[in-house]
Amino acid sequence: MGDAMDVAVKPASGYVIAVLSGVLSVHTVATARAALVELLDEADCVVADVSELELRQPGCVAVFSAAVEQAGGWPHARLALIGSAPRMLTHLSSRGGDTAVPIADGLDGALAMTDRPPSPPGASPTKPIHEKHLRRIEAISEKDPETAQFILDWLGILIDHDAVGRSELVETLSAFLENHGDYNDSARALGIHRSTGRYRIHRIRELTQLDLHDPHTRLNLQAATRVLARLPAAPPLPASP
């Protein structure tokens, strides 16, 4: 797999800077969350510098708000981000992350933002429908990395698209395959109009560049969707002590 991530801590007066470098993916998100929660428990304020962090799966940006929630929420847990690359910034903003976890241009702005409660107060970002898929894959990645990688190889781009766009391409593909490529039966199974189903399959073909008529491709996609559907639910985040 090759994904790795490092967290370098730079203590300062009244706050710490956590420099996250490497890759943020389903294989490293648990490490990131654990490190951030530990720092949030110990420090008055944490500023995470993500300028050296490569985002692999968009849904993984949920780790920042999840860490704050696990550490007890604002004002006990104060976290702000600096150095977001354009791609990461796009996915953070699409989640409402700029209200739950402030995103600043520099250190002074980040520290000022952590003094203010999230807006609206007490709100957390809307979780994309398929964040659950990413968390379930994360949960098995250490015990069964080959299965996790198989799912990501065949469905990763669709899971990413669903997480960012709040679409339902993974479920649509699964229904399409289970109904032997029949648009009418697939639409009925999903409770949508036939034309909506056709459009979604068209988008799946565009995004994946796969031939859904190819038997080998269909076999692997169906295996991936079935395995994903059978994964155990992701464990709940542990409560902050």
Mean pLDDT of the chain: 82
Q: How large is the average pLDDT for residues 138-158?
A: 79
Report pLDDT for 171. Answer: 92
**Residues 147, 27: Cα–Cα separation, whole Å:** 12
Residue 241 has pLDDT above 90, yes or no: no
Report pLDDT for 121. Answer: 41
11 pLDDT band, cuts 50/70/90, is very high
**Residues 203, 169: Cα–Cα separation, whole Å:** 8
User: Tens of pLDDT along 83-111?
Assistant: 988 778 777 765 544 456 888 888 888 88
Report pLDDT for 101. Answer: 85
Between 8-22, 46-60, 113-127, 201-215, the lowest mean confidence (pLDDT) is in 113-127
Q: How large is the average pLDDT for residues 37-51?
A: 94
Residue 130 has pLDDT above 60, yes or no: no
From edge to edge, which strands make up the β-sheet containing 5-12? 5-12, 15-24, 46-55, 79-82, 103-104
CB contact at 8 A, 55 and 170: no
Report pLDDT for 82. Answer: 93
pTM: 0.56
**Residues 23, 136: Cα–Cα separation, whole Å:** 19
Strand partners, 52: 21
Residue 124 has pLDDT above 50, yes or no: no
The percentage of residues in the chain with a pLDDT greater than 90, rounded to a whole number, is 39
Residue 177 has pLDDT above 80, yes or no: yes
134 pLDDT band, cuts 50/70/90, is low
Q: What is the DSSP string of 38-49?
A: HHHHHSS-EEEE
CATH architecture for residues 5-114? 2-Layer Sandwich (3.30)
Question: Assign residue 230 a region: left if phi > 0, alpha if psi is -120 to 50, beta otherwise?
Answer: alpha
CB contact at 8 A, 51 and 18: no
User: Tens of pLDDT along 188-219?
Assistant: 999 988 888 999 999 899 888 999 999 999 99
Q: What is the DSSP string of 5-71?
A: EEEEEEEETTEEEEEEEEEESTTTHHHHHHHHHHHHHHSS-EEEEEEEEEESSGGGGHHHHHHHHHT
